[in-house]
A and B are shown apart, each in its own frame.
Chain A
């Protein structure tokens, strides 16, 4: 056993235990650690944005180096603050409109390409898709499974007709695929949470108490 002499390790470990104490029940140690976390995180973000964004990218070039073009984004950004002055609060719509317009233009084509067109292509029964599974002839089976799964799941979310007859059958198959998807997601979530617990125990038992190497 080789207990750490680093005070920062002690602080991190004690705060970790305070947070973990919530598993037993709500208590003052947990609340104290929670508030410290919020305060530190906010303070860190604010100072970092000031020193690494606002000062080097906006204020210093604009006010010290005379890069006057930056006055435009500066004024647009300042318009956000008009929200607090009721008489001219409507001006806040200008930066919001610019922001929304920019993001709509950037996001829509990229999202359609990456999340719809390419994903639909992935469900089509073609030789490259069979090979993408690296499973030999089983690649065809997996591709067909995906193809059926996509069609059946989509039919489950088709609400314009009553789920009877063919749609009734496909939607029932679709719900099986949906449940398998939920099961996979749940299994992965369990793995993720246990991994985080293991990581924290490795820190407490290793870095702090020195029980494990």
Chain B
């Protein structure tokens, strides 16, 4: 078999095996890869950071298990940022299968902060500092309805508490009391937030999305419809970097840990693309 024929017929399982090794080794033997935050992520960070004391932020955790690896680190980074700077935060999910993951992210970050809190004031208290509104279908109902009254749409929170009795909700009535909504999603949900909540009520929307959505979403960032944008695991790593660098929040940085694996995997895929093309051109030349 000629060399170009071999290049053209490499068994895909060999490629998978090489990729597996390349991705695994940096995880087992980690080293630091400096992440430089880009402007879209910095803008999102600044928007969350500048949330006034009399306003809250909404975190829409609408990510399903299949994209957890990319988007959950974003949720954790935004929650750490909000809790560290003592922003009031309302968390919700627009679809049922995402509720478990949202609860998991909240519990993890609250536990991180409360395990080192020394006083009641330092602690994160449910109903005072944050609330999990849960799920209210269909998505357009909360998107439009919260512009009038959040408590009317989410009469009870995820745990069954009357939302209008919670301390945090005494000053947060509708979108007028919201500084920014951060939508974490692998679908077009962020565009729906823009179409319904932003167009009608002027709500600012920041986004964390999967890398697959990145190319589509940059146009909304360019037009200013998205205040800021985190794309994929790299976007999450950049936000983690900003939170640690600016507020000294220490904690496991899952996305940052993965950057080396991601880089090597990209390099090896680029190499495979080059090899495949060399094989293709040699093959065509022989013909």
Decide if A199 touches B225 in the complex (CB within 8 Å). no
A146-B222 contact in complex given A115-B195, A188-B214, A212-B30, C-beta closer than 8 Å: yes
B265 near A: Cβ within 8 Å? Answer: yes
List the A side residues contacting B215 at CB < 8 Å: 181, 184-185, 188
Interface-centre pick from A44, A106, A198, A213 (highest chain B CB count, 10 A): A198
**Number of A interface residues in the complex (CB < 8 A):** 44
Decide if B219 touches A119 in the complex (CB within 8 Å). yes
A97 near B: Cβ within 8 Å? Answer: no
Q: Considering the chains assembled together, what is the distance between the CA atoms of A189 and B214 in angstroms? A: 9
A134 near B: Cβ within 8 Å? Answer: yes
Proximity bits, A60-84, B CB within 8 Å = 1, else 0: 0000000000000000000000000
B207 near A: Cβ within 8 Å? Answer: no
Q: Considering the chains assembled together, what is the distance between the CA atoms of A110 and B28 in angstroms? A: 48
A192 near B: Cβ within 8 Å? Answer: yes
Residue of B nearest to A185 (CB): B215
Q: B276: shortest Cβ distance to chain A, in Å? A: 14
B170 near A: Cβ within 8 Å? Answer: no
Q: B33: shortest Cβ distance to chain A, in Å? A: 13
Per DSSP, chain A at the interface is: helix
List residues 57-72 of chain B with CB under 8 A from any CB of chain A: 66-70
Q: Considering the chains assembled together, what is the distance between the CA atoms of A191 and B266 in angstroms? A: 7
Decide if B211 touches A189 in the complex (CB within 8 Å). yes
Residue of A nearest to B219 (CB): A119
Decide if B97 touches A44 in the complex (CB within 8 Å). yes
Q: Which residues of A contact B (CB under 8 A)?
A: 23-24, 41, 44-45, 48-49, 52-53, 106, 110-111, 113-115, 118-119, 121-122, 132-134, 146, 181, 184-185, 188-192, 194-202, 205, 211-213
The 5 closest A-B pairs by CB, nearest first: A199-B69, A122-B223, A192-B211, A110-B195, A114-B195
- Of the A-B pairs whose beta carbons lie under 8 Å apart in the complex, a sample of 20, sorted by A's number, is A23-B16, A53-B137, A106-B196, A114-B198, A121-B223, A122-B223, A184-B215, A185-B212, A185-B215, A185-B216, A189-B212, A190-B269, A192-B212, A194-B23, A199-B68, A201-B261, A202-B27, A205-B28, A211-B28, A212-B27
